Amino acid sequence: MGVTVERMTLLLPDPVLAGPACSGCGGKGITGDQYVWSESTPELLVDVLCPVCTGCGSADHVGCETTRHAEQDDEYDEYDDEQADPTSCPSCGGRRWWACQGFTDTEAYTLRVPCGCSEAEFTPVPAGSAVTR
Ligand SMILES: [Zn+2]
Ligand SMILES: [Zn+2]
Ligand SMILES: [Zn+2]
């Protein structure tokens, strides 16, 4: 019996693909591995973005959801105030998550860390659920 730490996660719908699915993730955009992000309260269970498609789930990136890419296009950061959606979050640009590089001894990965602006949408993770760490 350990201390039960409340964990939350942000569930995002699977990508909608216009073309073939990524061979790395089967079109889900994430690897299926999850890590615990403990720098917030409650802790967050975060998904690992697929390194092949960088998160959109598309094999050819034709008509893919570019907002799911770990790296955003330059112009994405240069939007001016007149065009900016006043409801979008300045931290994540309305994506509801941000990409964070993580490393283990043997590999690098990109985490899809939920942004605080989406806190109302966080879903509790049952204690004892499988976690890759
Ligand atoms: Zn993929
Ligand atoms: Zn793509
Ligand atoms: Zn945000």
pLDDT at 73: 62
What does DSSP assign to residue 109?
A: E
CA dist., res. 63 & res. 19, Å (int):
8
Give the pLDDT confidence of 51-84 residue by residue, as tens digits. 999 999 999 999 999 999 998 765 544 445 455 5
pLDDT at 127: 63
pLDDT at 131: 52
> Within 10 A of 115 (CB to CB), how many other CB atoms are there?
16
Q: Which ligand is nearest to the CA of 57?
A: 1
Q: How far is the CA of 57 from the centre of ligand 1 (A)?
A: 4
Show Cβ contacts of residue 6 under 8 Å, excluding neighbours closer than 6 positions. Answer: 42, 43, 124, 127
Q: How far is the CA of 133 from the centre of ligand 3 (A)?
A: 25
pLDDT at 1: 53
Give the pair of three-digit tokens for residue 70: 């770990």
The residues of the chain scoring below 50 in pLDDT are 76-79, 81, 133
CA dist., res. 8 & res. 127, Å (int):
10
Q: Which ligand is nearest to the CA of 85?
A: 3
pTM of the predicted model as reported, rounded to 2 decimal places: 0.81
Residues β-bridged to residue 111: 48, 100
In 38-96, beta strands by DSSP E: 43-49
Q: What residue segments make up the domains of the chain, in order of their start? A: 7-67+87-125
pLDDT at 49: 97
Q: Is the peptide bond prior to 42 cis by the omega test (within 30 degrees of 0)?
A: yes
